[in-house]
C-alpha cells in the first residue's frame, strides 16, 4: 500500500529526528560579560561536544533600533544585523535563548529584538476569511529552549509570580510563530550565589548542550507528543454517533438488562471501535493530498493533519490500519459466536459496513471521490450500525423496526457531513474529489443540508404520530423541528456571507448537535 507523497513526508519527519541539529544560541543579556554570557558559552561548549552545528548571536552586539516606528513591523526596513539574525534563525533547527529575568520578563533590548525580527512574513502570516481569520505559523519547523537567570528562587517565580515572562515568550511570541519550546531552565538566585553554585550551574547548562546529541526533545516529550498524535489521528469526536445508533438497534431488540448483559453487545462495540479507527486512519492515509492542500482544517473537517504535519509517518499509519483491521475482525468473529441472532445476517451486515466504511476514501471504491461519500457516512453511522446492534442481541433482519429507526437518523447525519465539505471545497476540488459541495457548489450543498435537516425532523414527527418503531420518539422530538429551522437559517446566513472555502466551526457544531435528537432521544425512550 504505497503512497505518491510518501517521500515528501519522510523528508519532513527527518528534520525532527536527525542527529545533525543546527543550534543557534542567542544571548539576550545587554552585557555580554555577564553570568548569562558564561552560561551561553557553556551551552555552546556542550553543543560542540555533542557534535551538533552551533552558532552564537549576542543581541548586545547588534546595531538596530529596538522600536517599531512604522504602522507594521514589516514596513520598517531591517538593519543589516537583523537581516543576518533572520538568516541565522532560518538556518537553525533549535533556538536557545539565554537571558535574565528583569521585572518578571526579558530585558528591553531582547524584547526589541523580537519586535523587529519576528515580523509578519518571517515569523507568521495573517489571513482574514470568514471564521477562518487567523494566522499561519512560519517557523513551525523549529524548537526552542529558554535558560533564564533571576535574583529570586525559581520556585517563587514559578508558583508565586506564575512565570509571566516565560509564559509570554513561550506562548505569545515563540508559540505564535509555531516554535515549540521543549525545555525551560530557570537559574537563581544569582546575586547572592557562591562560586561553587555558579560552577554547578555552568556544568548543568553544558550538559544541556551535550544532551542535543539525541535531539532537542527528551524521550518523555517525544513519547507524549507521539501519544498526542495518535489520539488526534483517532478523531474520537466522531465515534459516539455510531455507538448511539448501535445501542438504539440493540435496545429495539431487547430490554436494557438483556442488552448490557449480552457479550455480543460488548464485542460488537469492540468491532465498531476498531473498524472506526481503521476507517479514520485509512482516510488520513488516502486523503493526504487534499489534506495537504487544505488551509481550513478544523476539529470536524480537513483530517487530523498528523500526517501532513509529519507527526506520524506513512509507515506508522499502514501498521495502524493493519492492526486495527485485525482487531476489528477478531471482535467481529467474537460477536458472531456470541450473537443470539442469525450469524449469516449479522456477518453479511458487518461485511457490508466494513466495505462501505473503508471504501469511503480507499481504492477501488473511493466513494468520497464519486459524490457518494456523504451518503456512505450517513448510512454507516446510522442504519448500518443500528441493524448490526439489532441483530447482535437476537433481532431478525426482516423486522422493519431497525430500518425505520435508522431513516431519521440517516437524514440527520447528512447535513453535517455535507457541510463538512465546505471548508474542504478548494482542496477537494484541486485534487478532483467530487463531494456534494464540489459537484453542486456551496449553494447546492447548503440547500441539500437544509432539505435533509427538515426532512429528518418531519420523519421523526411522523414516526412519533404513528407510534412507529416501539414508540422510540416521544413528544420531545417535536423540538427537533425548531432546531432544524435554526440550522437552516444559520446555513443560509453563513454560506451567503462569503464565497469559497471557509472555516464554519460554529455551523458544524450546530449541525452535529442536531443529530442528538435522533440519537439520544430514542436511547432514552427505549430504555
> Residue 496's pLDDT is what?
59
DSSP state of 174: I
Reduce the DSSP state of residue 389 to 3 states and report it.
helix
pLDDT bracket for residue 6 (50, 70, 90): low
Higher pLDDT, residue 391 or 498: 391
The mean pLDDT value for 190-214 works out to 95
CA angle 448, 504, 289 (to 5 degrees): 85
pLDDT of 315 > 90? The answer is yes
Task: Answer positive or negative: Cα dihedral of 337, 410, 230, 432.
Answer: positive
Cell of residue 464, nine digits = 412519533
C-beta separation of 507 from 490 below 8 A: yes
* Extended strands (E) in 8-111: 22-27, 53-58, 94-100
Query: SS3 of 231, please?
Result: helix
What confidence category does residue 313 fall into, taking pLDDT thresholds of 50, 70 and 90?
Answer: very high
Please give the pLDDT value at position 514.
96
Distance in angstroms (rounded) separating the CA atoms of residues 352 and 248:
19
pLDDT at 219 over 90: no
pLDDT of residue 13: 41
Question: Would you say residue 274 has pLDDT above 80?
Answer: yes
pLDDT greater than 70 at residue 2: no
For 350-406, the pLDDT digits (tens) are 999 999 999 999 999 999 999 999 999 999 999 999 999 999 999 998 899 899 999
Mean model confidence pLDDT for the chain: 90
Cα separation of 212 and 23, whole Å? 9
Residue matched to cell numbers 457516512: 377
**Residue range 461-492, pLDDT digits in tens:** 999 988 876 678 888 999 999 999 999 999 98
CATH 3.40.50.360 fits 20-214, yes or no: yes
pLDDT digits (tens, 9 = 90+) for 275-288: 999 999 999 999 99
Paired strand residues for 125 = 136
Sequence-distant (6+) residues with CB within 8 A of 431 are: 289, 290, 293
pLDDT attached to residue 11: 39
| Model confidence pLDDT, tens digit, residues 176-201 | 999 999 999 999 999 999 999 999 99
Buried b (16+ CB within 10 A) or exposed e, 139-173: bebbbbbbbbbbebebeebeeeeebebbebbbeeb
Contact 265, 393 (CB under 8 A): yes
Nearest alpha-carbon partner for 99 in 166, 158, 53, 178: 166
Is residue 15 pLDDT above 60, yes or no?
no
Q: What pLDDT sits at residue 469?
A: 67
Q: Is 506 exposed, middle or buried (0-12, 13-18, 19+ CB in 10 A)?
A: exposed
pLDDT, tens only, 94-152: 999 999 999 999 999 999 999 999 999 999 998 765 445 678 899 999 999 999 999 99
The per-residue pLDDT for 170 is: 94
Residue scoring higher pLDDT (300 or 497): 300
CA-closest candidate to residue 378, choices 181, 230, 519: 519
- Decide: pTM greater than 0.85: no
Contact 467, 404 (CB under 8 A): no
Q: What is the mean pLDDT of residues 262-267?
A: 96
The predicted model gives 245-268 an average pLDDT of 94
Looking at per-residue pLDDT, the higher value among 488 and 297 belongs to 488
Please tell me the predicted confidence (pLDDT) of residue 380. 96
* Residue 10: per-residue pLDDT: 42
**181 bridge partner residues:** 144
245-270: b (≥16 Cβ within 10 Å) or e: bbbbbbbbbbeeeebeebebbbbbbb
Amino acid at each position: 500500500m504505497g503512497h505518491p507523497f510518501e517521500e515528501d513526508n519522510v523528508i519532513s519527519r527527518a528534520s525532527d529526528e536527525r542527529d545533525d541539529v543546527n543550534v543557534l544560541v542567542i544571548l539576550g543579556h545587554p552585557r555580554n560579560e555577564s553570568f548569562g554570557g558564561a552560561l551561553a558559552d557553556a551551552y555552546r561548549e556542550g553543543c560542540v561536544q555533542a557534535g551538533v552545528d552551533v552558532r552564537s548571536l549576542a543581541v548586545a552586539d547588534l546595531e538596530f533600533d529596538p522600536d517599531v516606528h512604522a504602522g507594521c513591523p514589516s514596513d520598517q526596513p531591517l538593519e543589516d544585523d537583523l537581516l543576518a539574525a533572520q538568516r541565522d534563525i532560518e538556518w537553525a533547527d533549535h533556538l536557545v535563548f539565554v537571558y535574565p529575568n528583569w521585572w518578571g520578563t526579558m530585558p528591553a533590548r531582547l524584547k526589541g529584538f523580537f519586535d523587529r525580527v519576528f515580523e509578519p512574513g518571517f515569523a507568521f502570516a495573517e489571513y482574514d476569511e470568514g471564521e477562518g481569520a487567523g494566522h499561519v505559523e512560519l517557523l513551525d519547523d523549529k524548537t526552542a529552549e529558554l535558560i533564564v537567570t533571576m535574583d529570586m528562587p525559581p520556585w517563587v517565580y514559578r508558583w508565586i509570580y506564575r512565570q509571566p515572562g516565560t509564559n509570554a515568550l513561550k506562548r505569545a511570541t515563540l508559540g505564535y510563530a509555531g516554535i515549540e519550546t521543549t525545555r525551560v531552565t530557570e537559574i537563581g538566585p544569582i546575586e547572592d550565589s557562591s562560586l561553587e553554585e555558579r560552577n554547578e550551574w555552568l556544568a548543568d547548562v553544558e550538559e544541556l548542550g551535550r544532551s542535543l546529541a539525541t535531539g532537542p526533545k527528551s524521550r518523555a516529550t517525544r513519547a507524549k507528543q507521539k501519544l498526542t498524535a495518535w489520539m488526534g489521528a483517532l478523531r474520537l469526536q466522531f465515534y459516539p454517533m455510531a455507538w448511539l445508533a448501535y445501542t438504539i438497534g440493540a435496545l429495539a431488540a431487547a430490554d436494557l438488562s438483556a442488552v448490557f448483559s449480552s457479550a455480543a453487545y460488548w464485542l460488537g462495540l469492540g468491532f465498531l471501535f476498531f473498524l472506526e479507527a481503521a476507517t479514520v486512519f485509512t482516510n488520513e492515509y488516502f486523503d493526504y493530498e487534499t489534506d495537504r492542500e487544505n488551509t481550513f482544517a478544523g476539529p470536524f473537517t480537513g483530517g487530523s493533519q498528523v500526517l501532513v504535519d509529519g507527526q506520524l509517518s506513512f509507515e506508522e499509519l499502514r501498521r495502524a490500519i493493519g492492526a486495527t483491521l485485525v482487531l476489528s475482525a477478531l471482535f467481529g468473529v467474537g460477536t458472531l459466536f456470541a450473537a443470539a441472532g442469525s450469524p449469516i445476517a449479522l456477518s453479511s451486515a458487518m461485511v457490508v459496513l466494513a466495505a462501505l466504511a473503508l471504501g469511503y476514501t480507499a481504492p477501488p471504491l473511493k466513494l468520497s471521490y464519486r459524490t457518494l461519500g456523504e451518503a456512505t457516512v450517513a448510512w454507516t453511522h446510522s442504519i448500518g450500525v443500528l441493524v448490526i446492534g439489532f441483530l447482535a442481541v437476537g433481532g431478525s433482519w426482516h423486522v422493519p423496526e431497525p430500518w425505520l429507526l435508522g431513516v431519521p437518523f440517516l437524514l440527520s447525519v447528512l447535513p453535517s457531513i455535507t457541510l463538512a465539505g465546505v471548508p474542504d471545497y478548494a482542496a477537494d476540488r484541486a485534487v478532483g474529489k467530487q463531494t456534494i459541495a464540489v459537484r453542486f457548489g456551496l449553494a447546492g450543498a447548503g440547500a441539500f443540508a437544509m432539505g435533509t435537516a427538515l426532512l429528518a425532523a418531519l420523519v421523526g414527527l411522523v414516526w412519533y404520530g404513528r407510534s412507529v418503531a416501539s414508540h422510540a420518539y416521544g413528544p420531545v422530538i417535536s423540538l427537533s423541528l425548531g432546531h432544524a429551522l435554526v440550522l437552516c437559517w444559520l446555513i443560509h446566513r453563513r454560506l451567503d456571507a462569503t464565497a469559497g472555502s471557509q472555516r464554519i466551526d460554529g455551523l458544524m457544531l450546530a449541525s452535529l448537535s442536531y443529530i442528538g435528537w435522533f440519537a439520544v432521544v430514542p436511547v432514552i425512550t427505549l430504555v
